[in-house]
Amino acid sequence: MRKLLFESLIRRPLTETAPSPDEQALAELAASLGRAARRHLGRSLSIREVDAGSCNGCELEIHALNNAYYDIERFGLRFVASPRHADVLLVTGPVTKNMREALERTFNATPDPKWVVAAGDCAVDGGCFAGSYAVAGGVATVLPVDLHIPGCPPPPIEILKGLLTLLQPQMSKAT
């Protein structure tokens, strides 16, 4: 026990080194996304997250968008509690057979214009859950998907880039 206590004093903690912050790149990306949303929609972008059967790894990355580091609300992007207030459905996980109807009803409750974003490898094609008896497939097997964001899980910065990609073609149509 004494040896263990002594080693804990001299050993470094078993944690990963924090990524080097690139605050400026993040601020530019999120500001572009905020501007794109205001230009195309005339207001901020409202996102409804739907977990269609994920392992919650993707949710952890999506939640990070609201933490003190990413803090996307400062750029006018917000997560909403109801699909009736949403512009984007951000769907994670393979669509399980139990969640299929709920996902379809959420889509039908979202007003037009709306976009569906499939976030994470499971949402793209079922990922590591593909072929399971409980899984209907990727999000595209149930809903029309406008954008796929691959990754297991996709990091927050890739989710932001994906949302910007979604709005940019709309901006070029409007100009």
34 vs 120, beta carbon nearer ligand SF4: 120
For ligand SF4, the binding residues (CB under 6 A) are 54-55, 57-58, 92-93, 120-122, 127-128, 152-153
61 vs 87, beta carbon nearer ligand SF4: 61
Distance CA 19, CA 100 (A): 37
How does DSSP assign 3-72, residue by residue?
Answer: HHHHHHHHSPPS-PPPPPP-HHHHHHHHHHHHHHHHHHHSS-EEEEEEESS--SHHHHHHHHTTSTTT-G
* Residue whose C-alpha is closest to residue 53's, from 99, 118, 114, 108: 99
Report residue 51: phi and psi, to 5°. -90, 110
Strands 45-51 and 88-92 turn out to be parallel
Report, in Å, the least distance between residue 134 CB and ligand SF4.
14
83 vs 127, beta carbon nearer ligand SF4: 127
Report, in Å, the least distance between residue 151 CB and ligand SF4.
7
Report, in Å, the least distance between residue 26 CB and ligand SF4.
21
29 vs 91, beta carbon nearer ligand SF4: 91
3 state SS of 130:
coil
Report, in Å, the least distance between residue 158 CB and ligand SF4.
12
Residue nearest to ligand SF4 (CB): 57
Report, in Å, the least distance between residue 90 CB and ligand SF4.
12
54 vs 110, beta carbon nearer ligand SF4: 54
- Give kind and range of the element (H or E) at residue 77: strand 77-79
